[in-house]
Amino acid sequence: MKTKLYVLYGGKSVEHEVSLKTAVTVLLSIDEARFEVYPIYITPDGLWCTPGHLSKEALTIERLIAEPAFRDPARSIGEILSGVMALPGPKVVMPLLHGSNGEDGTMQGLLELLNVPYVGNGVLSAALTLDKAMSKQILAQADIQQTKYMVSRFEEWSMDEAAVLRDVEHSIGYPCYVKPASLGSSIGISRCMNRGELLSGIREAFSYDKKLVIEREVDGREIQVAVIGNERPLASFPGEFIHEHSFFDYESKYMDKRLTMSIPAKLADGLTPRIRELAIRAYQAHGCEGLARVDFFLDSEGELFLNEINALPGFTNFSMYPVMWERTDGTSYSELIEKLIGHAIARHKNKQTLKYTR
């Protein structure tokens, strides 16, 4: 009997479009001789539905978008859970939901209650890695160097904007980056060179989140490492995008056709093993399982600063995460998907040995 593979994509998130791009690539690469695939679309309003079987020959982003039968989220979710996802036989879920309501532990909590194996990080590690403010506390406790930062909450901003601006200028200075605490794909992030830009950047970021991280800029290169595995994770060769952007924003990441990858990244002797070791330390400090991409800054003095951990990195054919593995050990895109599914099933099997009664 084939394993039923439920692929969740879309989602109530500003990264909805990114998820659709990821889903197309994944669905085109799944071995249908081994898996019976069930695509499940989550609308921007949080409604669940399915487009039904999609042939690879006709698969497009437009074909992935389905019309929900019910306008009530609870009823639409219940219909999918009691129908499509309740089919008998072995099953595994692959959540391809970037950002809020998918990458932040909420979906993982639901899947834990359903007691099904699922690809990627668990509830706690998903929540920690998406929340940049909490992640930075974990990194500090693990004694992993990061750039100077401060956290600002909407309550304090609404009470005294001028005090927050003065605090940033005194503690962080310019240039600095203002980031919503719990978003990815560089959405809502601003690079600020003066008070006017800082003011507009904070207002923009607060429209996406009620908690912000404001960081001192590190003038240097951004180096990325792909990590995979559960108890004994592995780290890929480091890689970097070669580009001329002073700020690698959403448009730069997804629209610039001139981007090129350098994998392995050209680094000084001894730096590659150190970055790989730090990536695994950060991964384990957050309790990650399955996969994550760990991003560093490397300044002109050779100092490393861990930037952030992405628990569900971009996963198209042209994304850094799968390409780093292909150039590290020859793992193809399809093989990488099967490895991730294998880690999901192994973790779930291991959890079934736990006792829930005395």
- Model confidence at 245: pLDDT above 70: no
Structural domains of the chain sorted by starting position, each given as residue range(s) with its CATH number in brackets: 3-118 (3.40.50.20), 148-216 (3.30.1490.20), 220-350 (3.30.470.20)
- Model confidence at 312: pLDDT above 70: yes
Structure token pair of residue 274: 């150190």
- Model confidence at 231: pLDDT above 60: yes
Count CB neighbours of 29 within 10 A. Answer: 18
Report the range of poorest mean pLDDT among 23-32, 242-251, 346-355.
Answer: 242-251
> How sure is the predictor about 258, in pLDDT bands with cuts at 50, 70 and 90?
low
- Long-range pairs of 270-276 with CB within 8 A, sequence gap ≥ 24: 271/298, 271/302, 271/304, 272/237, 272/238, 274/304, 275/223, 275/225, 275/238, 275/304, 276/225, 276/235, 276/236, 276/237, 276/238
Give pLDDT tens digits for 34-50: 999 999 999 999 999 99
The per-residue pLDDT of the chain, averaged, comes to: 93
Across the range 279-302, mean pLDDT stands at: 96
- Residue 218 CA to residue 198 CA, distance in Å, equals 17
Structure token pair of residue 249: 């924003």
The share of the chain scoring above pLDDT 70, in percent, equals 95
pLDDT at 250: 54
Structure token pair of residue 30: 């799944």
The DSSP 8-state label assigned to residue 2 in this structure reads: P
pLDDT at 344: 98
